[in-house]
Amino acid sequence: MKIAVNHLARIEGHANLVIDSVRGTVRELRLEIVEAPRFFEPMLTGRHYSDVAHIAARICGICSNSHTLVSLQATEQALGIEVSEQTQSLRRLLAFGEILQSHLVQLFFMALPDYYGEASILPLVHTERALVQHALELKKLANDILRVVGGRPVHPVTPVVGGFARLPEAADLQELRRRLVRVLPDLEASVEIFGSLDYPDFERDTDCFSLRGGDDYPLFGRQLVSSGGVDCAVEDYRDVLEEYLVPWSTAKFARLQGRCFMVGPLARLRNNFDLLSPMARQVAEALGLTPDTANPYRILAARLVEVVHGVERAIHLIDELLLAGLQAEEPLPPQRHGRAVAVIEAPRGLLFHSYSYDAQGRIEQADCLIPTAQNLANIEADLRARVPELLETGREELTRQCEQLIRAYDPCISCSTHLLTIDFA
Amino acid sequence: MKPRVGFFDFASCEGCQLTVLNLENELLDLVELMEIVEFREISSAHGEELDIAFVEGSICRPEDVKRLRAIRARSRQLIALGACADTAGINALTSDRPVAELVREVYGDKGEAFLVAGRPRPLEAFVPVDGRVPGCPIDGGEFLTVLQALLIGRTPELPTFAVCAECKLRELPCTFERDVICLGPITRAGCNAHCIAEGDRCRGCRGMVDAPRSGPYYRILEEYGLSEEQIRDELRLYNLGGEAKK
């Protein structure tokens, strides 16, 4: 049986799935990345530090804030620019806004239609109107955080090297806080929906790779850990992570200590379960997640737990900001030039930007390592383990469950092309 | 019969389609006004004949050209969605370097064996385009304006004046007063000077106005001490002009 799904739907970017099986044995299985390569590293080479985050944001529309924030951090570290507590708090708020926005789009727009047997959320506008309105309200709130803090949801304008080009108004932050508090009870409806989904019964344990927070569930950080024993400083990421080419992909694949591994919501949750906010922890338990959950279909549940965590943390961050009072600040000029690596837990997992700058403040060399590129080999390994279990179910069910599995990872392929395709050959 | 609409994408970040999805207040009404028959980012449905195709992204490879022509052939109207589709956008930043060199730099020597890449070009280099929503990313409000024109059978028109005019209407202080270079004087309006209002400057993502008065503008830039190379650098981000965009 040959199955080829070209241009998989409800993922960000272009990938094909190719599966070729003969008499119950999988002969070939490839996740082909067919996104046109865009060469972001060469685009950044020679650019002045004031333009770098602006360009880096354009690697990806759905996680443009993560790219912006990690880019600014790499630049600031390379140029010796310190940023204030206030800037750090606003950036964290922006990062949570994006995690909420990205997770909600994936959960409701990309994943849920599979479980309702629909091609998209659009038919649900008529059959499940309350659910669609609930999803849109949540998503709008997430985007409004991005508007108030970052200037717009896609490709933020206000975050600049050294701080912010414009600060949010206290009144706007207060209004966001009111809405965030109001939305918490509504999230119970989401927990209900994603708690009752019929997740396929499949487990494959893998190495979970993430930041380890100090005393908080990680967003930014300097220490990388994995359930398989990796424990290293962010600067040394190239010692444990290796990228490699596969001939069917315009995205590089990656290995951690020579093996495939997982990044993203479930990996973060497993490595930092003890650091979830109180409500998020309750939700994790209600959804049956533990530090040992090894069913990749349940990444959806982990994603929802992170939504709850993000709402709760955003409320606290706004409180801290309002209590301290927002102060206008002048960004500091560069103090030196050199190399630096920064990392952020983007919605889909670890996102690394590494830059070296010359004395004129221009990029000599850039390297971006994207969460989806890190997950690709693991998605393929999951599919290889899952497909033989499904060969009896027939082409349609097999394809459906493979697509569900791929979507659970929420691959973001625009991003990963330095960056992916799925054909069933 | 509701008009049948499709959304497609090529080399891009998909941020313009996301900007459409971010019209939370209008989305339920839009779904009533038209039939969205294709939108790969959020739907696995496929349509055949389309009244309007919104296409995001630049065209880089022979396979992209083929797919674009097939979309054009079944669409009554085709609209370029965002800078990548309209002018090649930020993708054109690398267009002054040979593609083979870029492949080597990012993918190493092994990459050349299997990687098909090409110079990013706008849609209109290959197919007729009936309208455009410029910007990086597009402005959601402007998308609605263009869509409205299409739905009532009018040709969508873009502003013919520069961002400066919108900036002054909003009474924003000119960035040149703080010694910050801005491309507002030569960039096509329609964004309501959004980036300037948010504390940044205009970087020209919407492309130039028709017949920009670039002579006097360059003289001003020179007065501010910018070298020819720096001016080129400013324009490179979205307005390299010449080869890359044709």
We report the CATH number of the domain holding residue A118 as 1.10.645.10
Q: Which of B4, B93, B196 to mutate to test the interface with A (most CBs of A within 10 A)?
A: B93
Q: Which of residues 66-125 of B touch A (CB under 8 A)?
A: 89-91, 93-94, 97, 102-103, 105-108, 110-111, 113-115, 117, 120
The per-residue b/e assignment along A194-211, b for 16 or more CB within 10 angstroms, e otherwise, is beebebbebeeebbbbbb
CB distance A136–B27 less than 8 Å? yes
* Residue A314, in any domain of the structure: yes
Q: Which of B42, B226, B230 to mutate to test the interface with A (most CBs of A within 10 A)?
A: B42
How long a stretch of residues is chain A?
425
Judge contact between A215 and A275, C-beta under 8 A: yes
Return the DSSP state at A368. Answer: E
How is residue A314 written in tokens? 């955003």
Q: Which residues in chain B are contacts of A141 at CB distance < 8 A?
A: none
The alpha-carbon gap from A278 to the nearest alpha carbon of chain B, in Å, equals 30
Within an 8 Å CB–CB cutoff, is residue B16 touching chain A? yes
Nearest residue to A294 via CA among A220, A211, A228: A228
Rounded to whole angstroms, how far apart are CA atoms A93 and A315? 9
pLDDT at B110: 67
* Alpha helices (H) along A325-424: 371-390, 395-408, 413-416
Within an 8 Å CB–CB cutoff, is residue B11 touching chain A? yes
* Residue A121, in any domain of the structure: yes
Return the DSSP state at A105. Answer: I
Which of A11, A153, A166 has the CB atom closest to B198's CB atom?
A166
Helix, strand, or coil (residue B239): coil
For each of the domains in chain B, give its residue range(s) and CATH number, in order of start: 4-152 (3.40.50.700), 163-237 (no CATH)
How is residue A97 written in tokens? 């806004």
The residue of chain B with its CA nearest to that of A144 is B22
Nearest residue to B161 via CA among B171, B153, B169, B150: B169
pLDDT mean by block of 10 residues, chain A; 425 residues: 84 85 85 82 92 96 96 98 97 98 95 90 90 94 98 98 97 98 92 94 97 90 95 94 82 89 98 96 96 97 98 98 96 95 97 96 93 93 93 89 93 56 31
CB distance B137–A119 less than 8 Å? no
The residue of chain A with its CA nearest to that of B9 is A13
CB distance A165–B200 less than 8 Å? yes
Q: Which of A39, A133, A360, A413 to mutate to test the interface with B (most CBs of B within 10 A)?
A: A39
Judge contact between A424 and A18, C-beta under 8 A: yes
Nearest residue to B169 via CA among B185, B192, B203, B135: B192
* Residue A416, in any domain of the structure: no
The alpha-carbon gap from A138 to the nearest alpha carbon of chain B, in Å, equals 10
* Residue A423, in any domain of the structure: no
Nearest residue to A241 via CA among A149, A354, A144, A396: A354
Integer CA distances (angstroms), B113 to A21, A43, A345, A380, in order: 27, 22, 34, 23
The per-residue b/e assignment along A306-337, b for 16 or more CB within 10 angstroms, e otherwise, is bbbbbbbbbbebbeebeeeebeeeeebebeeb
CA end-to-end span of chain B? 37
The residue of chain A with its CA nearest to that of B64 is A36
A149 Cα distance to chain centroid: 19
Q: Which residues in chain B are contacts of A112 at CB distance < 8 A?
A: none
pLDDT at A414: 63
- For strands B75-81 and B131-133, give the pairing: parallel
Integer CA distances (angstroms), A201 to A193, A387, A392, A405, in order: 18, 13, 15, 11
How is residue B187 written in tokens? 């960039």
* Residue A364, in any domain of the structure: yes
Binding-site entries of A for Fe cation: 63, 415
Binding-site entries of A for Ni(2+): 60, 63, 412
* Residue A250, in any domain of the structure: yes
Rounded to whole angstroms, how far apart are CA atoms A21 and B192? 56
The per-residue b/e assignment along B71-91, b for 16 or more CB within 10 angstroms, e otherwise, is bbeebebbbbbbbbbbbbbbb
Return the DSSP state at A169. Answer: P
Q: Which residues of chain B have pLDDT under 50?
A: 242-246
CB distance B14–A13 less than 8 Å? yes
Q: Which residues in chain A are contacts of B120 at CB distance < 8 A?
A: 36, 38
The residue of chain A with its CA nearest to that of B103 is A39
* Residue A144, in any domain of the structure: yes
Within an 8 Å CB–CB cutoff, is residue B238 touching chain A? no
pLDDT at B3: 95
Q: Which residues in chain B are contacts of A105 at CB distance < 8 A?
A: 18, 21
Integer CA distances (angstroms), A369 to A193, A205, A219, A372, B199, in order: 34, 23, 16, 9, 30
The residue of chain B with its CA nearest to that of A101 is B22
Residues forming beta bridges with residue A25, ordered by sequence position: A22
Q: Which residues in chain B are contacts of A61 at CB distance < 8 A?
A: 12-19, 137
Q: Which of residues 154-193 of B touch A (CB under 8 A)?
A: none
How is residue A109 written in tokens? 């727009």
Which of A7, A36, A41 has the CB atom closest to B64's CB atom?
A36
The residue of chain A with its CA nearest to that of B98 is A42
Sequence-separated (6 or more) residues with CB below 8 Å from residue A236: none
Structural domains counted in chain A: 1
The residue of chain A with its CA nearest to that of B17 is A61
Nearest residue to A104 via CA among A401, A255, A303: A303
Judge contact between B85 and B123, C-beta under 8 A: yes
Task: Name the residue with tokens 């992209």.
Answer: B64
Domain residues for the domain of A232 are 2-409
A50: phi > 0 → left, psi -120 to 50 → alpha, else beta; which? alpha
How is residue A127 written in tokens? 């059959």
Q: Which residues in chain B are contacts of A55 at CB distance < 8 A?
A: 90, 93, 237
